[in-house]
Structure 1
Amino acid sequence: MRHRSRGITGVSTTGHIDYMSFTLPDDAYLECEVEHLFGIPFTKFIEASSGRSGYRKRYEYGNIDVLTDGGSSGMGHNITLKGAACHRYQRCLRDIVEHVFAIDGHFTRCDLAIDDFHGLLDMEVIGEAITGGLVTANFKKVREYNERERTTGMLTGRGAYFGSRKSEVFIRIYDKALEQRVDQHWVRVELELKGSRANAAMKLVLTKEIGTVARGILNSRLSFREKSKDGNRSRWPVSGWWKSFIASVEKLQLVADSREGVSQESRLVSFFQNAATFAELVDNCGPWVILLMYDNGKRKLERRGGVNPWAA
Structure 2
Amino acid sequence: MAKGRVVAGKHLVQLRKKQTRVSQKVFSELVDIPVGTLRNYEQGRSLLTVEKFMEIKSKLGYVSDSKNRVRVMIDYLRITFKHVEDLSWFCQEYLYCDLKDFISVETKMMNYTHLWKRGDIWIFDFADKSLTNNYQITVQLSGAGCRQFELTMERAGTDWARSLQKMAWERKDMKVTRLDIAMDEPYKGVGRESEQFDLFSMLEKRRKREIVLDRIENFSFVGGGAFDETKGKQDGLSLYFGSRQSSMFFNFYEKRYELAKKERVSVDEASAVFDIWNRYELRFSDEKAHSVVDEFINGVDIAEIAKGILNKELQVYDGLNSYGAYLPDKKWQELFGGVEPLKLSTCPEPYDILRTVKWLVYQVSNSLALVSEADKKLATDYLKMIFESGEIGEKEEKVLEQLSPEDKRYIDEIFGKVV
Tell me if 1:139 matches 2:216: yes
Q: Match of 1:34, SS? A: helix
Matches within 5 A, 1:1-312: 11-12=68-69, 14-27=71-84, 29-69=86-126, 76-90=136-150, 92-102=159-169, 103-104=171-172, 105-117=174-186, 118=188, 119-137=195-213, 138-146=215-223, 151-152=230-231, 154-181=233-260, 182-184=270-272, 185-206=276-297, 207-228=299-320, 236-258=326-348, 260-261=350-351, 308-309=394-395, 311=397
Matched to 1:141, the amino acid is N
Report how far residue 258 of structure 1 moved. Answer: 4.9
User: CA separation of 1:113/1:167 partners in 2, compared to 1, >3 Å: closer, same or farther?
Assistant: same
Aligned equivalents of 1:252, 1:208: Cα separation in 2: 11
Is contact 2:82-2:137 (8 Å) kept? yes
Between Structure 1 and Structure 2, whose CA radius of gyration is higher?
Answer: 2
CA root-mean-square deviation: 3.2
Report how far residue 106 of structure 1 moved. Answer: 1.7
Q: Deviations over 1:20-61 (max 9, x none)?
A: 010112146332112222222112211222232111211111
Aligned equivalents of 1:131, 1:73: Cα separation in 2: 56
Structure 2: gaps (5+ residues): 1-65, 189-194, 261-269, 360-392, 401-419
Is contact 1:55-1:68 (8 Å) kept? yes
Is contact 2:122-2:141 (8 Å) kept? yes
Q: Match of 1:33, SS? A: helix
Aligned equivalents of 1:68, 1:150: Cα separation in 2: 48
Q: Compare the two structures and name the one with the higher helix fraction.
A: 2
Is contact 1:46-1:60 (8 Å) kept? yes
Aligned equivalents of 1:52, 1:74: Cα separation in 2: 16
Deviates more, 1:235-244 or 1:165-174: 235-244
Q: Match of 2:341, SS? A: coil
Aligned equivalents of 1:99, 1:159: Cα separation in 2: 37
What's the TM-score once normalised by structure 1's chain length? 0.73
User: CA separation of 1:150/1:56 partners in 2, compared to 1, >3 Å: closer, same or farther?
Assistant: farther
Is contact 1:223-1:242 (8 Å) kept? no
Is contact 1:120-1:244 (8 Å) kept? no
Is contact 2:252-2:278 (8 Å) kept? yes
Aligned equivalents of 2:160, 2:139: Cα separation in 1: 14
Report how far residue 310 of structure 1 moved. Answer: 5.3
Is contact 1:14-1:212 (8 Å) kept? no
What's the TM-score once normalised by structure 2's chain length? 0.56
- Seq. identity, %: 20
Q: Deviations over 1:192-242 (max 9, x none)?
A: 000010011011222122211110110011121234499x9xx73322222
Structure 1: gaps (5+ residues): 1-8, 267-306
Aligned equivalents of 1:150, 1:30: Cα separation in 2: 53
Runs of 4+ in 1 over 4 A off after TM superposition: 70-75, 147-150, 262-266
Aligned equivalents of 2:244, 2:327: Cα separation in 1: 29
Counterpart position of 2:59: none
Is contact 2:290-2:348 (8 Å) kept? no
Aligned equivalents of 2:309, 2:395: Cα separation in 1: 30
Q: Match of 1:97, SS? A: helix
Aligned equivalents of 2:178, 2:87: Cα separation in 1: 19
Q: Match of 2:123, SS? A: strand
Counterpart position of 1:6: none
Aligned equivalents of 1:218, 1:79: Cα separation in 2: 27
Q: Compare the two structures and name the one with the higher strand fraction.
A: 1
Matched to 2:166, the amino acid is H
1 or 2 for the larger relative contact order (CA 8 Å, sep ≥6)? 1
Counterpart position of 1:281: none
Is contact 2:78-2:139 (8 Å) kept? yes
Aligned equivalents of 1:66, 1:10: Cα separation in 2: 35
Matched to 1:246, the amino acid is F
Report how far residue 149 of structure 1 moved. Answer: 5.2
Is contact 1:264-1:309 (8 Å) kept? no
Report how far residue 264 of structure 1 moved. Answer: 8.2
Deviates more, 1:144-153 or 1:157-166: 144-153
